[in-house]
Amino acid sequence: MDNRKHNYKPGDVVDLTVVRKSEMGAFLDAGTGNTSDDILLHKVQQAEEVTVGQTVKVYLYADPKGRLTASMRLPQMREGQVARVEVINTTRDGTFVNIGAERGVFMPHAGRRGMPRRGEKVWVKLYRDKSGRPAVTMEVEDELRQASKPAEGVKVGDTVIGSVYNYSDQGAFLFTKDRFIAFLHNDEMTERPRVGEELETRVTFLREDGRLNVSMRPVKENAMDVDAEKILEVLRARGGQMPYSDDSPPEIIKEKFNISKASFKRAIGRLLRAQLIEQKEGWTYLNAKETEGGD
């Protein structure tokens, strides 16, 4: 007989023995020698009916009254592991995510990246907080770096699918389905993706460290068409004139058109050659024909 005392905590996954049953469910031996410490495995938390003397693997969590309770529904991740999980609720105190266990696991504001919303999926790491309860954080850079592998069998122009796990001042970091790390520069975004969002991107560069540079933008020739149309739309919306030209600062171009200065200049050059626009004293104007035909 095991006379050792155990100090089980919420978040533990353990093998416990059924010592008695009641109308509510089964009670599991907590290993303290005191029957009042027995842990309830409610009928609704049983994957299958259990019998006295049977050893069952269970996940322990605290019920609304703070009592240690068991469930045969086991989490899909263990302490120290990372996974992409669904956000199930947000409150003023923090965020709750689904790790496949009986209850959602708490993410404090300090461990949050961006503003995750209900239904979105985000990368998290499972850990114990100071009180010993399970919690998660979106600070997963080190873990994903260790889990990643160098990009092999990939060439420029290929499509890769990955989800955003972090941002820097320069852009976003993605972890792809093939476990590659990819960097998406701000200039290569057609819109700013949310942390956790899954993207289909195009490989633009293979780095010596085995990582990838990627883009959300179409190939350059098509991108020029897209950018040129974007400029025409702005001009039409402003009555055929706008205070932006080749001389506008890059940050203004990025803010107004969400493209780089180089892309803006290429698109402007195409429109000038097509005689659809003209520039004068720092302003850009639709020509008379385009103004009449564009609505």
Q: What is the pLDDT of residues 264-273, one digit of tens each?
A: 998 899 899 8
| Final residue belonging to a domain, choices 142, 164, 184 | 142
pLDDT at 6: 63
Would residue 269 count as lying in a domain?
yes
pLDDT at 200: 95
What percent of the chain is helix, strand and coil (3-state, nearest 5)?
A: 20, 35, 45
Distance in angstroms (rounded) separating the CA atoms of residues 119 and 90: 10
Say what the pTM is.
Answer: 0.64
What residues form DSSP beta bridges with 278?
285
Would residue 36 count as lying in a domain?
yes
Residue ranges making up the domain that contains 57: 13-71
Would residue 2 count as lying in a domain?
no
Distance in angstroms (rounded) separating the CA atoms of residues 211 and 207: 5
Alpha-carbon separation of residue 14 from 39, 95, 102, 142 (angstroms): 12, 26, 15, 28
- SS3 for 43? helix
pLDDT at 291: 46
Would residue 161 count as lying in a domain?
yes
| Final residue belonging to a domain, choices 110, 142, 174 | 142
Within 8 A by CB and 6+ apart from 187, the residues are 254, 259, 260, 263
Same domain, 270 and 287: yes
Would residue 211 count as lying in a domain?
yes
Would residue 76 count as lying in a domain?
no
Same domain, 118 and 181: no
Question: Torsion-angle region of residue 41: left (phi > 0), alpha (psi -120 to 50) or beta?
Answer: beta
CATH number at residue 28: 2.40.50.140
Number of separate domains in the chain: 4
Same domain, 179 and 229: no
Distance in angstroms (rounded) separating the CA atoms of residues 76 and 95: 18
pLDDT at 111: 92
- Strand 277-280 relative to strand 68-71: parallel, antiparallel, unpaired? unpaired
Same domain, 226 and 282: yes
Residues (pLDDT < 70) of the chain are 1-6, 220-224, 288-295
Distance in angstroms (rounded) separating the CA atoms of residues 25 and 49: 9
